[in-house]
Each structure stands twice: as structure tokens, then as C-alpha cells.
């Protein structure tokens, strides 16, 4: 039996999809057993932690807690609540919780113009940030560790330039130029907080500042800080603005610098916390995963729109955390037993949990806590007693929960009657709760590679069908279907030289030629290509350019093919239509032209007049589209027939 072309095509597509899905699932797999690959090293480390901390009881030793806040985006143009509630956070929340450290992981200010498109550092926003921290006295209560985000790096020529207000108005900027480490040894817990500054130099204006870049100098600095931390601390908490999926490392001596490998190869490492993705506008509120090297990566939802912050703790060597909305009380964190999803074999002394004598819970509120009670079945409840401060404990019998997943229910009530109800899954035999798929994709893939693949796919879709149809001599068979109607019109479009060549050549130009020439930083002219940006004699391999080009291909170039094919059909079969009917026939082109004009206008606001005039990607595509439409409108029908 001879297989049809359609069947063969379907099988090939199915095979390609299967290969793609297999590779994707392998990349985002979180069940990779890093502990078994490094069993001896892991056993030595956890044995050391077990010996140091001993049995988990009701003691108030061996526990510390800290806070994280990210993407504050202090702005003088929009949402004054960001400033006032950030002041409440410093004045009240931090002082109620009394954390050892507060991590402020980037985008401290908004740095966007009033039109929300232009971008540059605004000194007044930095003054607000500085004054709130200073006047609240928060740095007298705790250690404030802040680091730059991409918004804090907009339109900055060099680290030493006057516009780099992070140096003068942040807490750590005057001491640490970029990445740094801070040590704390309190309550018998020795921890290093290692901050990664991946902001590229120079700092371009938006949107070409989405991906962080680690140059060779910063790679060496990070390796030095890591080696120092391994010798001085039992636990390393890495923090930064960009997720590891959004950080590009430049090659050094022909070798790739793998940031995830660097983070994960350090046995004391437990977690990398970050921001930047804003929980995808709140659509992915739990953006957490476990990287293949066995450590957690946790993105925190933004303060900007969602007013989120994170409470984290290290208790007897176990890292625990909870994300909470501002002014939502009580705040509850179970530190023993460890949450089943976030257990890290080889990095935490898991063997201590089955031998522990007490359940341990941190509970905070803006008023005094009234009761903390727990249950395993929601029927019989046990009241916890306060050990000291926010730590509440309750005796338990771990041997009753030796296999499988179990749920610990916690109810905390304060003296004003506000209640928090927590469901806490745990296991004592190593059974894990799976991470959600979407966060794994966002945090474990390489964003730059995804942008490149998206751009290449759309480019192929833009060019290949036209080329194939041009090589097809006979027109598609006439059938009464929308697909066949579109197929025939696009086939005809591909046969007309004055339309085919401009469309294809412009699409082929996008991965090769410059997209714009203009002031990408105030006072400095740069050139934007698909594969990177050249400015100040420096080449920045900013992968977000591929996504920027993908927008043009997806919303302009590919639709343009179908709109021109429709206009061609109108020219051939509605040649006598006049007046309002003719206008209605051209509405698809008018709508598409409006989109192009809007994109070009936005580009002008972002990068100025020079980039607008010398912008083949956004600006020049407008007259090209008008020219092609005009050629169709004036095309003799006999030419097509």
C-alpha cells in the first residue's frame, strides 16, 4: 500500500513533536537524583550537619529566619501605593518579624518615563528608596542586602557614571560594585548570603535589557566569592534579580561558564532566590523548581503590583519558606517536618526528621498570637506551646508517619481573631511532591535559546511556504473550503515577482542586517542586530532581540502575507467595487497598517528620532507594506490571469 504525501507528512511532524517533547521533559525533569551521583560527598556534608545540630527538639537554638522582597519599582509617575506600602513594610512588617537579613533582589526603582515606554534613571525615585530605609530605621534592626535589577541599570553608560544612583542611594551600593557576599553567624547557624549582579555593562534602555549577562570579570568574581563562602559557611543562600534561565554567561578561554553548575557544585548551597519575572503577571504565583544539581530556585512575585514578600528560615540545617501578601496576617511557616516538595537530599540532614521530638512552627502577626494548633486528620487537634518569640512547638510521634505523604494542618489565630490555615505535606521516607510544569519550564529552560528558536521558527514559517508554493506549477484544486481559498490566493501571490521578492527578501534581511541605528544610551549611538547589539565598541549578545524580532514576524510580516493575498483576491474579483464597499474590502490592510504604525511609534518613544528614521525593522516596514499594497491595487488583472 502506497502511503499518501499527507500521511508521510503527518508521521514526520509527529516524530519531530515527539523528539521535541522528549528533550523538553528531560530538561525540566526534577527527579534527577543528584544525591546518588555525589553520595559520599552528600553523606559527609549531612553527617556534619547532623552532628552539629543534633536532635530536633523544642530548643530555640539552631534557627534563623530572613525576608526577601523583589521588584519594588518605586515610581513617581504611577501607583503611589508602592511607596506608602513599602514604607509600611519597613516601618512595621520588618520590625514585627525581626529577620536576621532582608534581601531586596533588584528593580528597586521603576526608571520608566511618564509615557511608560521611555526608560532612564530617575533620581527622585532613588531618593524615595533611600529615605524610606533611612527614616524607618530598618537598617538598625536588621541587615539590608540590596542588589541591582535590570530597571536599576537602564540607560547607564558605566558603573562609575553619575546616573548609577545605586552607588549613592542603596544600602550596599557604596560598598559593593557588583556581586558580593555577606556572612552571618547567629544562634549557631553560620550562613553566607551570596548576591549575583548580572546587569550588563553598558546598561541599555528598555526593552533590550531583559537578559542578564555575566562577563569574564564577573564570572571570576563569583567563583572567588563561592570558594570563600564554602570555607566560611555551613549554608549558602544565593540571591539575585534574574532567574538562572535569564542569565547569559560569556565564554571564557573558549569554555562555557555554567552558572547553575557553579551554584549547585557547592555542597552548602541550598537555594537561589530571585525576582524579575513578576510571577508572569500573577499567572504563575508559585514559580519554584529544583534544579538538576539538587538545589531550589525560587522566583518571588513582585511588590510592584502584587505586594508580595517572602519569609524563609534555616532550622537545624533545613531550609523552609513561605510567600505572603503584604498586610496579610498571621504569617505561618512550618520548619519541621520539612515540606515534601522542597526536601533536598544530600544538602539537608534529612535523617534528623524521623528522630525529631517536636513539630516546629514560626508564627507572626501584627498583634500577639492567641493560639497555634495542629492536626493530622482535622478531627483531633493539639495545641502548640510557645518556645520563645515566634517559635511554637508540639510533641509528635514520627514513627506513625513512616511511609508516604501525610498532611499536617496548622491553624493560627491572633488576639484580633484573624486566622491562617495551612496544609503542609511531608514525608519521612523520601517520597516527594512534584513541582508544577509551568514554573519548571520558566526556570529550567534557557530563555535565550527559547527566543532564538521562536525567531527561527517564525522566520521559516514566513519564508518556506511562499518558496514551496512558488515551485508548485499547478494551482491547488478548487474546493469549497476556507483553507483551499487561502491556499489558492497565497499560491497566486507567490507567483507575482513584484510581491514575492520584496516579502521574502525583507524576511531574510531580519536575521542579517541592522534593525536600527540610534542613541541606545544617552550620548552613545549603537546598532541593533538580531544576534546582538554593538555600542561603545562593545558587543552585547542580548538574546531578547530575537523576541523583539519575533513580534515583528508574528504580528506584521506573517499576517501581511495573508492580507496581501486577500487584497489580491479583491483586485481580481471585485474590480468594479467602489465607495464604502471598497473601503471595507481594504479594512484588513488598514488594521495591519495601524499595528505597524503603533509599533513604530512605540520604538520612537523608546529610542528617539534617529533610531526611528534609521529603523528598517519597525519603521521601514511601514512604507514597504504600503508599496506592496499599492502594487496590488494597480496590478492589471490580466497580469494575474
Mean pLDDT, residues 178-187 taken together: 95
Quick one: angle between helices 544-552 and 447-471, nearest 10?
A: 30
Separation in Å, CA 381 to CA 333, 339, 414, 417, 633: 18, 20, 17, 18, 79
Separation in Å, CA 562 to CA 549, 589, 590, 594: 19, 10, 13, 16
Domain boundary among 444, 471, 499: 444
In b/e form, how buried is each residue of 432-460, taking b as 16+ CB within 10 angstroms? Answer: beebeeebbbbbbebbbebbbebbeebbe
The C-alpha torsion from 211 through 217 and 222 to 223, rounded to 10°, is 130
Is 465 within the bounds of a domain?
A: yes
Dihedral pair phi/psi, residue 376, rounded to 5° = -110, -10
Report the C-alpha gap between 501 and 483 in whole angstroms.
24
Regarding whether 472 and 372 lie in a shared domain, the answer is no
Please report the pLDDT score of residue 88 as a whole number.
96
Regarding whether 196 and 244 lie in a shared domain, the answer is yes
Separation in Å, CA 461 to CA 346, 457, 558: 47, 6, 8
Dihedral class, residue 520 (left if φ above 0, else alpha if ψ from -120 to 50, else beta) = alpha
Is 138 within the bounds of a domain?
A: yes
Is 64 within the bounds of a domain?
A: yes
In this prediction the pTM is: 0.91
Regarding whether 156 and 137 lie in a shared domain, the answer is yes
Please report the pLDDT score of residue 236 as a whole number.
96
Counting the structural domains of the chain, the total is: 2
Separation in Å, CA 113 to CA 78, 278, 384, 539, 607: 10, 20, 52, 27, 12
Regarding whether 454 and 361 lie in a shared domain, the answer is no
CATH code: domain of residue 292: 3.60.21.10
Mean pLDDT, residues 581-586 taken together: 70
Burial of 637 (0-12, 13-18, 19+ CB in 10 A): exposed
Per-residue pLDDT at 237 exceeds 90: yes
Separation in Å, CA 259 to CA 54, 248, 264, 343, 495: 33, 9, 8, 22, 50
pLDDT band at 275 (very low <50, low <70, confident <90, very high): very high
Regarding whether 590 and 555 lie in a shared domain, the answer is yes
Per-residue pLDDT at 35 exceeds 60: no
Regarding whether 467 and 422 lie in a shared domain, the answer is no
SS3 310: strand
Please report the pLDDT score of residue 639 as a whole number.
67
Of the given ranges (208-222, 364-378, 486-500), which has the lowest mean pLDDT?
A: 486-500
Radius of gyration of the chain (CA): 29
Task: Please give the span between the terminal C-alpha atoms of the chain, in angstroms, as a whole number.
Answer: 39
Is 584 within the bounds of a domain?
A: yes
Regarding whether 212 and 95 lie in a shared domain, the answer is yes
Regarding whether 230 and 353 lie in a shared domain, the answer is yes
Regarding whether 273 and 362 lie in a shared domain, the answer is yes
Regarding whether 439 and 453 lie in a shared domain, the answer is no
Burial of 232 (0-12, 13-18, 19+ CB in 10 A): middle
Per-residue pLDDT at 150 exceeds 90: yes
Which helix (H) or strand (E) covers residue 375, if one does? strand 369-375
Return all residues near 133 (Cβ < 8 A) that are at least 6 apart: 90, 139, 144, 171
Regarding whether 331 and 311 lie in a shared domain, the answer is yes
Domain boundary among 444, 465, 490: 444
Per-residue pLDDT at 569 exceeds 90: no
Is 619 within the bounds of a domain?
A: yes
In b/e form, how buried is each residue of 82-98, taking b as 16+ CB within 10 angstroms? Answer: bbebbbbbbeebbeebe
Strand runs (DSSP E) across 132-217, as ranges?
A: 143-147, 180-186, 189-196, 212-214
Please report the pLDDT score of residue 355 as a whole number.
93
Burial of 622 (0-12, 13-18, 19+ CB in 10 A): middle
Range of the structural domain that residue 555 is part of: 447-640
Q: Provide the pairing of β-strand 288-290 with 296-299.
A: antiparallel
pLDDT band at 213 (very low <50, low <70, confident <90, very high): very high
pLDDT tens, 38-84?
A: 666 668 888 999 999 999 999 999 999 999 999 999 999 989 999 99
Residue 78 grid cell = 504611577
Report the C-alpha gap between 64 and 85 in whole angstroms.
26
Mean pLDDT, residues 547-564 taken together: 93
Return all residues near 271 (Cβ < 8 A) that are at least 6 apart: 237, 238, 295, 296, 297, 298, 312, 319, 321
pLDDT tens, 461-505?
A: 999 999 998 888 777 666 666 777 788 888 888 888 889 999 999
Please report the pLDDT score of residue 26 as a whole number.
64
Is 553 within the bounds of a domain?
A: yes
Kindly report the length of the chain. 641
Q: What angle do CA 243, 268, 291 make, to 5 degrees?
A: 35
Domain boundary among 379, 411, 444: 444
Please report the pLDDT score of residue 1 as a whole number.
43
Dihedral class, residue 631 (left if φ above 0, else alpha if ψ from -120 to 50, else beta) = alpha
Share of the chain above pLDDT 70, in %: 90
Instruction: Please name every residue paired with 596 in a beta bridge, in sequence order, or none if there are none.
Output: none
Share of the chain above pLDDT 90, in %: 71
Is 7 within the bounds of a domain?
A: no
Is 532 within the bounds of a domain?
A: yes
Regarding whether 251 and 112 lie in a shared domain, the answer is yes
Report the C-alpha gap between 102 and 65 in whole angstroms.
10
Per-residue pLDDT at 152 exceeds 70: yes
Amino acid at each position: 500500500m502506497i502511503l499518501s504525501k499527507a500521511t508521510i507528512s503527518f508521521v514526520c511532524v509527529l516524530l519531530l513533536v515527539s523528539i521535541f517533547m522528549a528533550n523538553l521533559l528531560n530538561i525540566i525533569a526534577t527527579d534527577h537524583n543528584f544525591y546518588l551521583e555525589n553520595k559520599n560527598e552528600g553523606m559527609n556534608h549531612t553527617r556534619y550537619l547532623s552532628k552539629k545540630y543534633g536532635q530536633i527538639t523544642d530548643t530555640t537554638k539552631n534557627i534563623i529566619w530572613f525576608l526577601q522582597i523583589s521588584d519594588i519599582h518605586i515610581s513617581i509617575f504611577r501607583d503611589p501605593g508602592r511607596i506608602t506600602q513599602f514604607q509600611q513594610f519597613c516601618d512595621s512588617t520588618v520590625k514585627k518579624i525581626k529577620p536576621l537579613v532582608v534581601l531586596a533582589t533588584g528593580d528597586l526603582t521603576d526608571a520608566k518615563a511618564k509615557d511608560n515606554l521611555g526608560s532612564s534613571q530617575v533620581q527622585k525615585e532613588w531618593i524615595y528608596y533611600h529615605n524610606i530605609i533611612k527614616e524607618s530605621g530598618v537598617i538598625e534592626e536588621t541587615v539590608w542586602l540590596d542588589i541591582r535589577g535590570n530597571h536599576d541599570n537602564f540607560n547607564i553608560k558605566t558603573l562609575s557614571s553619575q546616573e548609577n544612583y545605586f552607588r549613592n542611594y542603596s544600602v550596599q551600593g557604596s560598598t559593593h560594585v557588583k556581586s558580593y557576599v555577606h556572612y552571618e553567624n547567629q544562634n549557631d547557624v553560620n550562613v553566607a548570603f551570596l548576591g549575583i549582579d548580572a546587569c550588563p555593562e553598558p546598561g541599555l534602555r528598555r526593552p533590550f535589557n531583559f537578559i542578564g549577562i555575566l562577563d569574564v570579570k564577573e564570572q571570576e568574581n563569583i567563583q572567588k566569592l563561592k570558594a570563600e563562602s564554602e570555607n566560611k559557611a555551613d549554608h549558602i543562600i544565593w540571591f539575585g534579580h534574574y532567574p538562572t534561565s535569564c542569565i547569559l554567561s560569556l565564554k571564557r578561554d573558549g569554555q562555557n561558564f555554567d552558572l547553575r553548575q557553579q551554584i549547585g557544585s557547592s555542597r552548602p548551597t541550598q537555594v537561589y532566590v530571585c525576582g524579575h519575572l513578576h510571577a508572569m503577571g500573577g499567572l504563575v504565583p508559585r514559580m519554584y523548581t529544583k534544579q538538576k544539581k539538587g538545589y531550589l530556585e525560587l522566583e518571588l512575585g513582585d511588590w510592584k503590583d502584587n505586594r508580595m514578600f517572602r519569609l524563609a528560615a534555616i532550622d537545624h540545617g533545613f531550609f523552609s519558606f513561605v510567600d505572603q501578601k503584604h498586610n496579610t496576617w498571621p504569617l505561618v511557616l512550618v520548619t519541621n517536618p520539612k515540606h515534601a516538595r522542597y526536601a533536598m537530599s544530600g544538602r539537608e540532614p534529612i535523617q534528623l526528621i524521623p528522630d525529631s521530638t517536636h513539630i516546629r512552627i514560626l508564627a507572626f502577626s501584627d498583634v500577639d498570637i492567641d493560639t497555634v494548633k495542629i492536626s493530622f486528620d482535622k478531627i483531633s487537634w493539639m495545641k502548640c506551646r510557645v518556645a520563645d518569640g515566634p517559635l511554637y512547638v508540639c510533641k509528635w510521634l514520627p514513627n506513625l508517619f513512616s511511609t508516604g505523604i501525610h498532611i499536617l494542618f496548622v491553624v493560627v489565630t491572633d488576639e484580633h481573631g484573624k486566622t491562617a490555615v495551612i496544609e503542609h505535606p511531608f514525608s519521612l521516607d523520601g517520597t516527594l511532591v512534584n513541582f508544577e510544569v509551568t514554573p519548571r519550564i520558566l526556570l529550567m529552560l534557557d530563555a535565550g535559546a527559547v527566543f532564538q528558536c521562536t525567531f527561527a521558527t517564525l522566520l521559516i514559517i514566513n519564508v518556506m511556504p511562499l518558496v514551496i508554493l512558488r515551485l508548485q506549477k499547478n494551482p491547488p484544486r478548487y474546493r469549497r473550503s476556507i483553507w483551499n481559498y487561502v491556499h489558492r490566493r497565497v499560491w497566486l501571490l507567490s507567483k507575482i515577482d513584484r510581491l514575492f521578492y520584496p516579502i521574502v527578501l525583507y524576511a531574510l534581511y531580519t536575521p542579517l542586517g541592522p534593525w536600527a541605528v540610534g542613541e541606545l544610551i544617552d550620548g552613545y549611538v549603537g546598532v541593533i542586530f538580531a544576534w546582538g547589539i554593538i555600542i561603545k565598541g562593545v558587543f552585547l549578545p542580548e538574546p531578547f532581540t530575537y523576541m523583539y524580532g519575533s513580534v515583528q514576524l508574528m504580528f506584521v510580516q506573517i499576517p501581511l502575507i495573508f492580507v496581501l493575498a486577500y487584497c489580491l483576491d479583491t483586485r481580481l474579483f471585485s474590480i468594479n467595487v467602489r465607495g464604502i464597499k471598497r473601503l471595507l474590502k481594504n479594512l484588513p490592510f488598514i488594521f495591519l497598517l495601524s499595528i505597524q504604525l503603533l509599533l513604530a511609534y512605540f520604538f520612537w518613544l523608546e529610542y528617539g528620532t534617529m533610531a526611528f528614521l534609521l529603523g528598517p525593522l519597525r519603521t521601514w516596514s511601514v512604507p514597504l507594506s504600503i508599496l506592496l499594497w499599492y502594487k496590488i491595487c494597480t496590478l492589471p488583472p490580466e497580469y494575474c490571469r
